[in-house]
Chains A and B, each alone.
Chain A
């Protein structure tokens, strides 16, 4: 069955450093991969979408890579700030097209001043 894996261990980094989060998937070939931010007790907020034919996408301090051979996406936050502390979810479009997302469990990021 389709499976999405994100590191369940929290990632602790120092302010100013680059945070790198990993999303691996198996038994699947998604057309899109998305990254969301979720704060405690809140709904997810869309950050970036990358298509299967794109290797890299950037948005301000965020960068996403997508390696369909490795079945992996990396999510980078450069010059991290304490305000970046949150849980980051990756999501793949499910069968039937783009209108259905399968979410990973998320990785908690804590940026320390």
Chain B
């Protein structure tokens, strides 16, 4: 079955370390997105990509970086510059033509 795979489900890192979250989709979707969810808040857009080798900042891009070398993959790196990285991270993808959205199961990152 097609879908989005995020790994790992839980991730622990020490403060000051960079960490990369994986997102892979086999839906042949054009666009991919990274969102962050904090307790009691709505999801917020970190980065998105419409095509390979192109990506745009979202509302809270500071301290994050992404790449889109393949259509299927959109990894997110949480850098040491991100002041409050502990959060739940969701990857999503969509088709241009009908705006249908598919979400991954998320990665819960805890920085200690």
Same complex: no
Binding site for B on A (CB under 8 A): none
Binding site for A on B (CB under 8 A): none
